[in-house]
Amino acid sequence: MSLIVLAGPAGVGKGTLVRWLLANAEGYSLSVSATTRSARPNEVDGVHYHFVDKAKFEKLIADDQFLEWATVHGDNYYGTLLDELTRADAEGLHLLLEIDLQGARQVMKSKPTAITIFVQPPSFEVLESRLRDRATETESQIQTRLSNARAEIESAEEFDYEVINDDLAQTGKDILKIVSESEG
Ligand code: 5GP
């Protein structure tokens, strides 16, 4: 079982890539993160995230229940529960972590065997229009995400691999190849 970290700026299509991998490859599962942000209309508790309040999240931190956690976009906690690793291990599945840069750096330190992959947009313009098309954020949230994205893209070289998310199926196959080659 491999731990696979997928990072990259908001709007780059990590979520779509994860869905492609789950639908097209055997043996993968997705780590469901805990977060204090509120659910979007289409999101289901326990499926997209474990939606918890701040007090509950801070209790989980105090109880050492996280592999990593971070405050993302300045306002909400997000974190990977150690339970997710235990579950994937028991099921013999690779575990995909779709997390931000701060979280990815923590995993690089605590789990050096994790496969870390940075997902790049084809260009910054493409990223901006994808973020705007999603229309789930306000203009000021979009501006925050764009400035975070610029900073995140500069960190790509810290990762084991980079893929450019131009064509979904091609990028998905690139990731499958990386994982199978890493398993040796
Ligand atoms: P969103 O609010 O759009 O679902 O996610 C915002 C950001 O939080 C994304 O960049 C996503 O990768 C990051 N994120 C989601 N789950 C986790 C997590 O468990 N840990 C960390 N560090 N970041 C996460």
The alpha carbon torsion through 89, 91, 97, 103 (nearest 10 deg) reads: -30
134: number of Cβ within 10 Å: 12
Separation of 34 CA from ligand 1 center, angstroms? Answer: 9
Ligand 1-lining residues (CB < 6 angstroms): 10, 33, 37, 68, 70, 72, 78-80, 98-100, 102-103
Ligand 1 atom having least distance to the Cα of 14: 12
Query: Domain containing 7 — which CATH number?
Result: 3.40.50.300
Query: Which residue's alpha carbon is nearest to atom 14 within ligand 1?
Result: 99
Residue 69 amino acid letter: W
Query: Which residue's alpha carbon is nearest to atom 5 within ligand 1?
Result: 10
Separation of 5 CA from ligand 1 center, angstroms? Answer: 12
Structural domains in the chain (count): 1
What pLDDT is recorded for position 63? 98
CA distances from 98 to 3, 16, 29, 43 (A): 11, 11, 11, 16
User: Which positions ≥6 away from 151 have C-beta within 8 Å?
Assistant: 101
CA distance 27 to 1: 9
CA distance 170 to 184: 21
What pLDDT is recorded for position 183? 81
Separation of 38 CA from ligand 1 center, angstroms? Answer: 13
Separation of 40 CA from ligand 1 center, angstroms? Answer: 14
How confident is the prediction along the chain (184 residues), in pLDDT tens digits per residue? 899 999 999 889 999 999 999 999 999 999 999 999 999 999 999 999 999 999 999 999 999 999 999 998 778 999 999 999 999 999 999 999 999 999 999 999 999 999 999 999 999 999 988 888 877 778 888 888 888 889 889 999 999 999 999 999 999 999 999 999 998 6
Its domain, for residue 102, covers: 3-183
What pLDDT is recorded for position 11? 84
